[in-house]
A and B are shown apart, each in its own frame.
Chain A
Amino acid sequence: MYGRKACQLVKELENSESGQLTGFNTDLFAQVIEQCDGHVNNLQALLRKMQEVGSENQTAKNADHFGALMHHLSLVRNKRCLMAYVYNRAEIVQTLGWTVDCVLPEEIEEKLSSSEREYFKNHSATLKSYMSDLDIDLALDMVPPKDPYIKVRVLEEIGTVVLSDQLANLARHAILFLRRTDAEQYIAQGKMEELTG
């Protein structure tokens, strides 16, 4: 059935959790494009046929017209689905650019297609240059924290690092009470978790 594959692609998008990326479905994507090529060929053939026959034969003309219309609509629909797929993913990639610092974690990186990777790189580079122009870190949380300090647990061995003004050993499983700004980057990278209660 025409358009089913494209529909699957969009469904996949919808089934994944919002804000979460699934692996780029290269196979299905290529199949849909292939289908589009088929539609174009069919459409051109029908158009040529219609021109050859001319406007005399009313019955043949109708069938050809409807056929051409079907292919045309399927083509447009496939295109919309493909665009939706790419666009929605691009939006997630964009938000990643705001939350993750320049380097993508491996498990996310492998889910992107090569052009998406390129897009991420360029996007975050643009963001960075913009922020350095303004001299403001726009990626910070919009809601001011209630407490400037935060209690965290270190999930991965980080080693001894310089926090804003202190030297601290961020050994695995250590519990720290430190400035929120110091902890934010590690929390975003998944190397720390906030402890509550």
Chain B
Amino acid sequence: MVREHSIESFYGKLRESALASASNTPLLIFPSTSDVDSLCALKIIGHVLESDSVRYACYPVSSFKEIHKYAGPSLSSLSDEPITILLINWGCHRDLKKVLEIGPVARVFVVDSHRPIHLHNLSHQNDRVVVLYTGDDENQADLSYDFDVSALAAASDLNSDDEIEEDDSDSEDENESDGDDDGGNGNRKKRRLSEDGETDPLKLFRKLKKEYYHMGTFHGKPSGCLMYELSHYLRKNTNELLWLACVSLTDQFVHERLTNERYQAGVMELEQHINSSGNLDTLTSVTLKDGTKICAPDSSRIAYEDEPRLMLLQEWNLFDSMLCSSYMATKLKTWSDNGTKKLMLLLAQMGFALDESKQKFRYMSVEIKRKMKDMFEHFLPDYGLNDFYYRGFLLLHGYSSKVSAADVVYGVTALLESSQSTGSCAFGEAYDALSLKKLEKLEMGMRHAIKIQRAILRQGSTAITRKGSIRSGSKFRWVKLEDSADTKLLGFPQALTKFGYFLMDALREKGAKMKPLICVCYTQGREKVLIVGVCGKPRLGAVQGNAFGIAFRNSAEEIGAEFFHEMFESSWIVLEAVAVNSFMIRLTEKLM
């Protein structure tokens, strides 16, 4: 049984399997190094496993094949020593059994927010792979299927070669192998599917399968939130874990991986958790040795508040944050003279002195901080900024520190994608920065995030203002980043994605028609390029997610260039720099 509907039984199985193999190897956890959500989920599940005394070893990975470096031969060999593996936030969109060459005694558990899930991973016949995919998650997804995914998965044939669905030419042999291999069981299910009118079950199956994969990629519920639900169910939840869940929801929000509606729903759910775990008592009294009672703030508590869409305020100053934050910068066009004038005018209208707002935010006058919200809400609509405030989370630590979940996401993502340290080392830094006791590491990350945001503003404004930098095709636009200093900062998937969203916002403000955008950025000293496809913020009821994955892979294969498509998001690909032009031509033909 491969699709697991309930978190509790998923964990139950994981624990059982880990304990069964504990006599020869610890549970192997492979978190993805690509996003903050995976870090949060790792920390939460780690806490749960620790309290159950399950020994584990955790190796951060950034591509599919890396796992073999750590897991050793027992993963795929025929030895009879069982091995249990947990993948966090990667893997379910590829056929894991095939891609990872899983042997008969290895068991792989997957917690992943990437969608769609490869049907083979969900199939009943594939009992080596267990994917956590709750019914709620299926029903509340941003893109909804009008058919039953489980039934479709059950009908899929494990031996078929449908890594990514293509045309119908190879369907004949698939037809035969279907009948031979699964026996009656598979056929019966197919018949059930066929009740919706289509007569030939195989044709219907193929049609639905195509529909399923061609919807493109999108994201399900953040893994961190799922894992928090687990800890809650097991009564092992703490405030610290709740904060991690808040951060992982905010991660999806900041990187535009979910619709506003689903974010709101997620926020409400977490707010309830926050209320029920006693975060509302703002002050607690402490009794000293001699009996005097004093009021002291709770050591740390989580609060939810309307937050301005200004980046990294705590580590920056109001003026620069307004100048550079994507939301405000694209609306006011702060890179132009006109835009800066508007910004100054806005500050003047609100009555904030310029030198005061250029003061580091922490030391800015308290009066301005107090008036800020009222003033913004009063004056911003005149400039067309209507949804400047959003519901966000804050972590208050005594009187001394206050940090917002969004800033944590920016800071930790910057640490994950900093050029000084790579892969697993950067993961370690980010892991430390997420713990509440090491604020200095987080501050370091935030300072790096500020550098990245400035680079986004620099490159974004050049691309917008210089004619011909953004090339436009019929189905998509594309832009190439060549500046040698800024490509060092932006040559990472998440940073480049942020850059892409910045450009799309700016183009929308210019009144351009909305089209998906492909960003190309030189990395590794101009020998390679990183290509990221961005499709715009997911909207409720959309029919298509990010459909670049399949097209990227096919185009790269067809032009015969060396490429690397093993990263955890199918809309990310690394190519040889010389092949970029032929790749783009091929891609344009494909997406006509």
Contact = CB atoms under 8 A, between A and B. Distances in A.
Interface of A: 148-149, 151, 153, 160, 165-169, 171-179, 196-197
B56 A169 contact: no
Contact of B22 (A151, A166, A176, A196): A166
A168 B24 CA distance: 9
B98 to A, nearest CB: 24
A16 B246 CA distance: 47
Contacts of B460: none
Contacts, number: 69
- What range describes how many residues of B lie at the interface? 20 to 34
A177 B55 CA distance: 5
Contacts of A175: 46, 57-58, 428, 431
B26 interface: yes
Contact of A168 (B23, B46, B50, B57): B57
B50 A177 contact: yes
A153 B427 CA distance: 12
Nearest to B42: A175
Contacts of A165: 23-24
A160 B60 CA distance: 17
B149 to A, nearest CB: 34
A172 B422 CA distance: 13
A165 to B, nearest CB: 6
A160 B59 CA distance: 13
A160 B28 CA distance: 13
Contacts of B26: 166, 168, 176-178
B424 A176 contact: no
A174 B70 contact: yes
A68 B234 CA distance: 84
Given A149-B55, A176-B26, 14 more contacts: A149-B53, A160-B72, A167-B25, A168-B25, A169-B57, A169-B70, A171-B69, A171-B70, A173-B424, A176-B56, A176-B57, A176-B58, A178-B55, A179-B55
Given A160-B72, A167-B24, A169-B70, A174 B50 contact: no
Given A197-B436, A197-B437, A166 B24 contact: yes
A96 to B, nearest CB: 29
Given A166-B23, A166-B25, A178-B26, A173 B60 contact: yes
Interface in B172-189: none
Which 6 pairs between the two chains have the least Cβ-Cβ distance?
A173-B424, A175-B58, A197-B437, A176-B57, A197-B435, A177-B56
B76 to A, nearest CB: 15
B48 to A, nearest CB: 11
A84 to B, nearest CB: 40
Interface string B429-440: 001000111100
A165 B425 CA distance: 28
A172 B60 CA distance: 11
Nearest to A172: B424
B102 interface: no
A173 B60 CA distance: 8
A196 B43 CA distance: 12
Contacts of B427: 173
A41 B106 CA distance: 82
Interface string B6-28: 00000000000000001111100
Contacts of B69: 171
A172 B72 CA distance: 15
Contacts of A168: 25-26, 57
Contacts of A176: 26, 55-58
Given A177-B46, A177-B49, A197-B437, A169 B23 contact: no
Most chain-B CB neighbours within 10 Å: which of A160, A175, A176?
A175
Interface in B413-457: 424-425, 427-428, 431, 435-438
24 contacts: A149-B50, A153-B428, A160-B72, A165-B23, A166-B24, A168-B25, A169-B57, A169-B59, A169-B71, A171-B59, A171-B69, A171-B70, A172-B424, A173-B425, A173-B428, A174-B57, A174-B58, A174-B59, A174-B424, A175-B58, A176-B56, A177-B55, A197-B436, A197-B438
Contacts of A151: 46, 50
Contacts of B71: 169
Interface centre among A172, A173, A176, A197 (most CB of B within 10 A): A173
Contacts of B60: 173
Contacts of B424: 171-174
Contacts of B23: 165-166
A170 to B, nearest CB: 8
B137 to A, nearest CB: 27
- B25, B425, B437 — most chain A CB neighbours (10 Å): B25
B238 to A, nearest CB: 12
Contacts of A174: 57-59, 70, 424
Nearest to A178: B55
Contacts of B437: 196-197
A27 to B, nearest CB: 41
Contacts of A167: 24-25
A177 B436 CA distance: 20
B43 to A, nearest CB: 10
Contacts of B435: 197
A171 B53 CA distance: 22
A175 B58 CA distance: 5
Contacts of A153: 428
A176 B60 CA distance: 12
Contacts of A178: 26, 55, 57
B28 to A, nearest CB: 9
B186 to A, nearest CB: 38
Given A175-B431, A197-B437, A166 B58 contact: no
Contacts of B70: 169, 171, 174
A149 to B, nearest CB: 6
Interface in B33-84: 46, 49-50, 53-60, 69-72
